[in-house]
Amino acid sequence: MNEINQNQVNFYTVSEADENQRLDNLLIKVLKGVPKSHIYRIIRSGEVRINKLRSDVSDKVKLKDIIRIPPIRVAAKDENHKHIPQATFPILFEDEHYLIINKPNGIACHGGSGVSFGVIEQLRKTQIYKFLELAHRLDKETSGILILAKKRLALVELQELMKTNQMTKEYYALTIGAWKDEKRNLKAPIYKYTNKEGERRVKIDAELGQFAHTIFTLKQKYNQFSLVNADLQTGRTHQIRIHCQYLGHPIAGDDKYGIFELNKSLAKIGLKRMFLHAHHIQFKHPINNQVIDIECPLPDELSNFLATIN
């Protein structure tokens, strides 16, 4: 059994559902309610061992590995008292390997950083799926296509497609101002950091940043706005948002990289969220080679706002 008693030393046996995960990600899943900072601390201190050997946060676990987990001397949250409501989301595609849904705005992909639960916890609560993991993530404020894997192999294979840029991922963004170019091919490296409030942020940094590439295509010009299609060539945190800001056209309603005073004005005329929506995805199914091509139209609150500014 792999039940964890956080008041004593535990020996956790890696199952098929855990295989090939990073050690830190596995412990975050297993040690529910324990702060990530504490998990990283016990790994780096050498208290966590894999097959009796000192381990690193990025080590990949293998089937039947024995992981030593020390007593957790923190006041962990009691998951039994945390209410996670069951939820269903509009299904765009499903087979034995993948579940692809239309994620609404305002719902995080997963719990953490002040968020009690997200899409993944709500879907697991239904107990329909024996295994379910996010294949990628969308920001809480972003709506649209989200892929989840129903098997470990399917997850690993799909993430390899993403890593090697064999998947089309396109978003609609309503940006501030008039774009001069019909098409813009932007390569600007992104550096991820945490601000004084502990919030995750990014910025363009030529020295410290990771390579990031977005292809923007102008779809429609409006009075004071431009609707663009953003075709992701890489998948960095907040990539579209910071690339739009870098080009001088921040996304309407973006509370991190946008224009605060303008966002307040937009909320008064109907745009109460960030205008960013994952509308198209295409890839070759890594298990059966079927071409998966999915379109997800703008939600009503965004299409209705466009109608008011047309």
**Residue 41: its pLDDT value, please?**
86
- 74 located within any domain: no
- 170 located within any domain: yes
Q: Check whether residue 118 and residue 179 sit in a common domain.
A: no
What total of structural domains would you count in the chain? 3
**Residue 81: its pLDDT value, please?**
43
Q: Check whether residue 57 and residue 99 sit in a common domain.
A: no
Q: Check whether residue 184 and residue 265 sit in a common domain.
A: yes
Q: Check whether residue 93 and residue 40 sit in a common domain.
A: no
Q: How confident is the model at residue 124 (pLDDT cuts 50, 70, 90)?
A: confident
- 265 located within any domain: yes
pLDDT digit string, tens, across residues 30-58: 887 788 888 988 998 889 999 999 998 88
Q: Check whether residue 233 and residue 102 sit in a common domain.
A: no
Q: Check whether residue 138 and residue 203 sit in a common domain.
A: no
Q: Check whether residue 197 and residue 303 sit in a common domain.
A: yes
**Interval 224-251 mean pLDDT:** 96
- 280 located within any domain: yes
- 34 located within any domain: yes
pLDDT digit string, tens, across residues 58-100: 899 999 999 999 988 654 444 444 577 777 899 999 999 999 9
The active-site residue, picked from 18, 139, 231, 254, is: 139
- 108 located within any domain: yes
Q: Decide if 219 contacts 212 (C-beta within 8 A).
A: no
Q: How confident is the model at residue 112 (pLDDT cuts 50, 70, 90)?
A: low
Q: Specify the higher pLDDT residue, 300 or 34.
A: 300
Q: Check whether residue 212 and residue 288 sit in a common domain.
A: yes
Q: Check whether residue 201 and residue 252 sit in a common domain.
A: yes
**Interval 271-279 mean pLDDT:** 97
Q: Check whether residue 190 and residue 296 sit in a common domain.
A: yes
Percentage of the chain lying above the pLDDT 70 cut: 94
Instruction: Determine whether 65 is an active site residue.
Output: no
What residues make up the domain containing 103? 84-149
Please give the backbone phi and psi of residue 161, each rounded to the nearest 5 degrees, phi first.
-60, -45
- Which residue, chain included where needed, has tokens 């039994």? 80
Q: Check whether residue 169 and residue 142 sit in a common domain.
A: no
Q: Check whether residue 256 and residue 184 sit in a common domain.
A: yes
CATH assignment at residue 301 = 3.30.2350.10
- 3 located within any domain: no
Side chain identity, residue 247 = L
Q: Decide if 299 contacts 142 (C-beta within 8 A).
A: no
Among 43, 69, 95, give the residue marking a domain's end: 69
CATH assignment at residue 45 = 3.10.290.10
- pTM, two decimals, is 0.76
- 116 located within any domain: yes
